[in-house]
Structure 1
């Protein structure tokens, strides 16, 4: 433990004045709003480090962090481990809302006696009375337990002293009700972090006005972060144009934006095929100039295949790899999928120190005796599999047994260790689904790539241009961002909601932003709603064209 005066941020971390206030606040709940690149997640990590290492979260109390996505939950947990070590991080529980709900159900299942839910219930696509519930039932059932059981309420309240809520703008009615039932007027302090300009989950039930409601009911201290550590100054000025339409109070003061770094481009085409050819040439030019392909993202407001297939084909003609991240992103963020990829990488690749390091991290949480036992078990399994791989390499079918070896590895690792990778895996069907999906992906790639290393390279291709929807890009950042089709026919929803979507896309760019429009886009075979004749979205385009810094090299 250290004193409050001894605590300092992690090396290399810069905290503005309001961030310091968030980190050290001990007597009130907090509402922290901030734009992209302001370091919201890092502020939560620093606050956890401060609370734990100064014993402001008094032992044995814990911190509960609730996120909306598995990767965000895992990212925060990993940051805490890096900053304050495992002994402190073991008192930090980072879960998704649905993972938290499932923990409540599993621990207090007898409270649901009326529902007759079996202890070995599963989670599936259909509800089967007593045997199976759906994903959407997790929160309502957890809320029932908290409503009915004082024991359940008190057990959770006695466990935690602080609660973190990340991406709070996406909070739904069920999620907020669960938080209120557990923590309102209890002396447990909440830290809610979000950005109302990135509220793009209204279609999924995100509550309108959630910031104001929370601030009032929890008497939360409102604070805002202005600094943006992601984007160059010219890009910040474009973002300010959109922020002024969404939330004028959140506009970054002009005096905080200095310099003229950052490239802003816009291009209009008669036909989307012309667009694809010019963009492919431009991307090739940027890659030759030193921008890694993985640092180039092509974003679109709707389906990737509908908008991006022509450009992906043109990139292929230039020998430039591209990847539809909207298809793969969720799977590759799954810890179990990453585990399979790492194991195969170590078995069939050479010099894969990063993959080996991640495999060794599997055993970090365990006590020394258990950790040594698991290490020995793993090494025995791995050495045996390496011998089989070497023997198979001398045959005509060197990869025939790849899945037999992988499933053997997963079996030896054991269900408890796999469950520790994600709270979602406490549902065995979910774990089996992820493992099945990654197996099918590798199988499909082996049909064309022929070798395990090349299949894995395509699966998690770090040297591919990324194609994804704006919704899927949330939380990511890239050197160069291209937004395809900034047209009224693409952004056809409610203007207030589409502004937020557009802002998310624009704010992914660190150095270069390019938007495109076209007069004509032929209807793809798979498309539903589609208009072939197009018109630029006047407001969205103007936000960018006011700040142009140049032209495309191939236009």
Structure 2
């Protein structure tokens, strides 16, 4: 599969003038903006048709995901029987994170279900639209209501955040984002709960030292689980949090870049492997048993009571046999690879592929298995203990560090956002609405407390640079006007 950025080269090869007079984003959007079959009424449309044809006729064809979506839409629209089958199969359709739906995704939904008896529900929050850069359709709610006749139902109760945080969010909703949908805090909270502060530092060294002491206190004194503390950055995680992660780890608090683990740890096959290893090496938790047996049961949906009981006995026998093979020796990398292969083969690699559409691409499954092997081997080399290595892999007792985009849908007791500065929000003047929404998303991840940091100096690609807030002053102004957020200079 090709990335969107590779499209520009195809247009440049066919028409240099077109490529020179349009930037990359414009070319990428133009390439898949229209439904198939493509019109050819002018020179630009003929060029687009030529590029599509050339890409489709390659052996093997290499396409972008957006192109595949358009082709899937064409198949649906060209085959009434397929559309009818979809509509009879799915009587209910739920569209989540709808505020970030692209025009291609929305067109595909309409091709499949619009005008049918299927009931569909779209859920989203325009205040959290942070994917405009990736093509999010900014009028998607209005279009959806107009085209489906849907009834809008505001969901006002905020069950996540403490009341004082909800009050800050409401102030920003009205005065920063210009919207009227104000939330109501849950009655489970004490009305005075919730902390929001902006911490001002002289430089990143002081920032990491003071943050370390604060996090240490939250964990040791306040009893907050490290997995309930999340450090966020807007982008460029290595620049804004790379040294911070190293400082934390060097001084006894585990922290890691969670971005590269998130996708891996949401894959059912990876969780099956990890929790089977837990069972093999002595951690007989109910959670591990539930995760592994649910995975095996889903691979064999035809099995009923007696057959499921036999499968459970068989799996326990496999655990015992594998334990006797590997549990009494120091593992080599070859042992780790063989053991994970045994675990996968017990479930049945073909069954895994057939049960999950994404694994029809065999390469993807192999890549994920290789990633589990690699990460587990790295951890084992460091700890020489299997259970500790597995704990490291799932991030136990480790503070997650991630970008705002990766934090969507997640929640934490405490959020620390690094870099509420012009440098981090360098695109604010060009896309203020999207950056305001990104700030809103960061704040709304917190259940009980959130801290934004500003450093007067920040290391960047071109060395140490002075930081300011002139471009994002409107954010600081509204935080102050909320009457809740404190600006706290941090010296010691």
Give the TM-score, by structure 1 length.
0.71
Spell out the pairing of 1:425-504 with structure 2 (5 A cutoff).
425-493=359-427, 494-504=431-441
Partner residue, 1:161: 91
Partner residue, 1:505: 442
Deviation at 1:242, TM superposition (A): 2.1
Partner residue, 2:479: 544
Partner residue, 1:262: 194
Spell out the pairing of 1:112-151 with structure 2 (5 A cutoff).
129=59, 135-151=65-81
Partner residue, 1:384: 321
Partner residue, 1:246: 177
Q: Structure 2 unaligned segments of length 5 or more: list them.
A: 1-55
Partner residue, 1:283: 215
For the 8 Å contact 2:278–2:288, the answer to whether it is kept is: yes
CA–CA separation in structure 2 for the residues paired with 1:411 and 1:301:
41
SS of the residue 2:117 aligns to = coil
CA–CA separation in structure 2 for the residues paired with 1:254 and 1:137:
43
Partner residue, 2:291: 358
**2:231 is equivalent to residue 294 of structure 1:** no
Deviation at 1:275, TM superposition (A): 0.8
For the 8 Å contact 2:419–2:452, the answer to whether it is kept is: yes
> Quick one: structure 1 residues 466 and 421, their matched pair in 2 at CA, closer, same or farther if it must change by over 3 Å?
farther
CA–CA separation in structure 2 for the residues paired with 1:412 and 1:146:
37
CA–CA separation in structure 2 for the residues paired with 1:160 and 1:205:
27
> Quick one: structure 1 residues 301 and 132, their matched pair in 2 at CA, closer, same or farther if it must change by over 3 Å?
closer
The partner residue of 2:127 within 193, 197, 217 is: 197
Deviation at 1:153, TM superposition (A): 1.2
Deviation at 1:252, TM superposition (A): 3.0
For the 8 Å contact 2:161–2:444, the answer to whether it is kept is: yes
C-alpha RMSD of matched pairs (Å): 2.8
Deviation at 1:399, TM superposition (A): 6.9
Q: Structure 1 unaligned segments of length 5 or more: list them.
A: 1-125
**2:439 is equivalent to residue 533 of structure 1:** no
For the 8 Å contact 2:199–2:487, the answer to whether it is kept is: no
**2:268 is equivalent to residue 335 of structure 1:** yes
Deviation at 1:412, TM superposition (A): 2.1
> Quick one: structure 1 residues 548 and 478, their matched pair in 2 at CA, closer, same or farther if it must change by over 3 Å?
same
SS of the residue 2:477 aligns to = helix
SS of the residue 2:456 aligns to = strand
> Quick one: structure 1 residues 500 and 160, their matched pair in 2 at CA, closer, same or farther if it must change by over 3 Å?
same
The partner residue of 1:321 within 251, 254, 271 is: 254
CA–CA separation in structure 2 for the residues paired with 1:499 and 1:225:
21
Spell out the pairing of 1:90-101 with structure 2 (5 A cutoff).
none
CA–CA separation in structure 1 for the residues paired with 2:285 and 2:355:
21
The CA deviation string for residues 123-174 of structure 1, in whole angstroms up to 9 with x for no partner, is xxx9953577654443122112112111111111222222111111111122
The partner residue of 2:141 within 203, 211, 235 is: 211
SS of the residue 1:532 aligns to = strand
CA–CA separation in structure 1 for the residues paired with 2:184 and 2:295:
45
CA–CA separation in structure 2 for the residues paired with 1:388 and 1:489:
54
CA–CA separation in structure 2 for the residues paired with 1:515 and 1:127:
51
CA–CA separation in structure 1 for the residues paired with 2:463 and 2:474:
21
Deviation at 1:258, TM superposition (A): 8.2
Deviation at 1:439, TM superposition (A): 1.4
> Quick one: structure 1 residues 242 and 550, their matched pair in 2 at CA, closer, same or farther if it must change by over 3 Å?
closer
> Quick one: structure 1 residues 397 and 199, their matched pair in 2 at CA, closer, same or farther if it must change by over 3 Å?
closer
Partner residue, 1:12: none
The CA deviation string for residues 211-234 of structure 1, in whole angstroms up to 9 with x for no partner, is 000110011111101110110111
Partner residue, 1:20: none
Deviation at 1:177, TM superposition (A): 1.1
**2:371 is equivalent to residue 371 of structure 1:** no
SS of the residue 2:82 aligns to = helix
For the 8 Å contact 1:156–1:182, the answer to whether it is kept is: yes
Aligned residues: 424
Comparing 509-518 with 147-156, which one deviates more in the overlay? 147-156
> Quick one: structure 1 residues 356 and 421, their matched pair in 2 at CA, closer, same or farther if it must change by over 3 Å?
farther
Comparing 136-145 with 327-336, which one deviates more in the overlay? 136-145
CA–CA separation in structure 2 for the residues paired with 1:512 and 1:264:
6
SS of the residue 2:93 aligns to = strand
For the 8 Å contact 1:263–1:513, the answer to whether it is kept is: yes
